[in-house]
């Protein structure tokens, strides 16, 4: 009596199938890896926007110049209360050359923020790890003598993407 040969796979066919599946899996995961990396970018950009907008709001709430009157007289710095302060070139080392006050919470005019550099721990406040890897640099430059100052906040994400926020503060 003859036995019917069973249908099945040979060892060579199994090995070839495993190799093909491994190659396809490698190609698919390599392609998806780029998508996974890019999916983090919007989150980092949103956090950078939070940092930039928060700093910009803080700075824009301050007066135009150290010599601007903050009383009820509304005297501009170039009119009777002394000349306006010209911001120094923006340093990148985190020093604040125009700051008359020693600490950030005491800054009272936009020039005090010139050169301010903050890193993750300084940006986080009560959430210790929220902005790890982020960095913010503030530059203040005179746009028009005694009239306008340009405030630029550059936020760098952990992926080294720099996002710049800019505003102009007027002397009025």
- The predicted-structure confidence for 30-56, as pLDDT tens digits, reads as follows 888 777 766 667 888 999 999 999 999
- Band (157; pLDDT cuts 50, 70, 90): very high
Has residue 163 got a pLDDT over 90? yes
Domain total in the chain? 1
Residue 5 lies in a domain: no
Residue 157, domain extent? 37-170
Domain-embedded: residue 140: yes
Report if residue 93 sits inside a domain. yes
Q: Is residue 163 part of a domain?
A: yes
> Is-above-0.85 flag for pTM?
no
- Measured distance CA(44)–CA(161) in Å, rounded: 9
Do 96 and 110 form a contact (C-beta atoms < 8 A)? no
Residue 26's pLDDT band (boundaries 50, 70, 90)?
A: very high
Q: How many CA atoms lie within 13 A of 105 on its CB side?
A: 2
In a domain, 60, yes or no: yes
Q: How much is the pLDDT for 155? A: 95
Who has greater pLDDT, 87 or 110?
110
Closest by Cα among 80, 130, 140, 131 to 109: 140
- The pLDDT, as a whole number, for residue 165 is 96
For residue 96, is it within any domain?
A: yes
Pairing of strands 135-144, 148-156: antiparallel
Confirm whether 6 is domain-assigned. no
Classify residue 27: in a domain, yes or no: no
Cα 11 to its chain centre, rounded Å, is: 57
Question: Percentage of residues in the chain with pLDDT exceeding 90?
Answer: 30
For residues 95-118, give the mean pLDDT. Answer: 81
């Amino acid at each position: 009596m003859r036995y019917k040969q069973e249908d099945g796979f040979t060892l060579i066919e199994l090995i070839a199938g495993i190799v093909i599946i491994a190659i396809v899996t490698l190609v698919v995961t390599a392609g998806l890896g780029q998508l996974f990396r890019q999916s983090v970018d919007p989150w980092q950009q949103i956090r950078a926007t939070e940092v930039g907008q928060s700093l910009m709001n803080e700075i824009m709430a301050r007066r135009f110049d150290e010599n601007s009157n903050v009383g009820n007289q509304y005297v501009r710095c170039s009119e009777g209360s002394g000349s306006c302060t010209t911001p120094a070139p923006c340093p990148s080392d985190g020093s604040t050359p125009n700051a008359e006050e020693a600490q950030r919470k005491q800054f009272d005019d936009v020039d005090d923020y010139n050169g301010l550099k903050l890193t993750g721990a300084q940006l986080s406040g009560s959430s210790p790890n929220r902005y790890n890897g982020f960095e913010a640099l503030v530059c203040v430059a005179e746009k028009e003598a005694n009239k306008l100052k340009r405030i630029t906040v550059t936020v760098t994400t952990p992926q080294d993407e720099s996002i710049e926020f800019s505003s102009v503060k007027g002397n009025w």
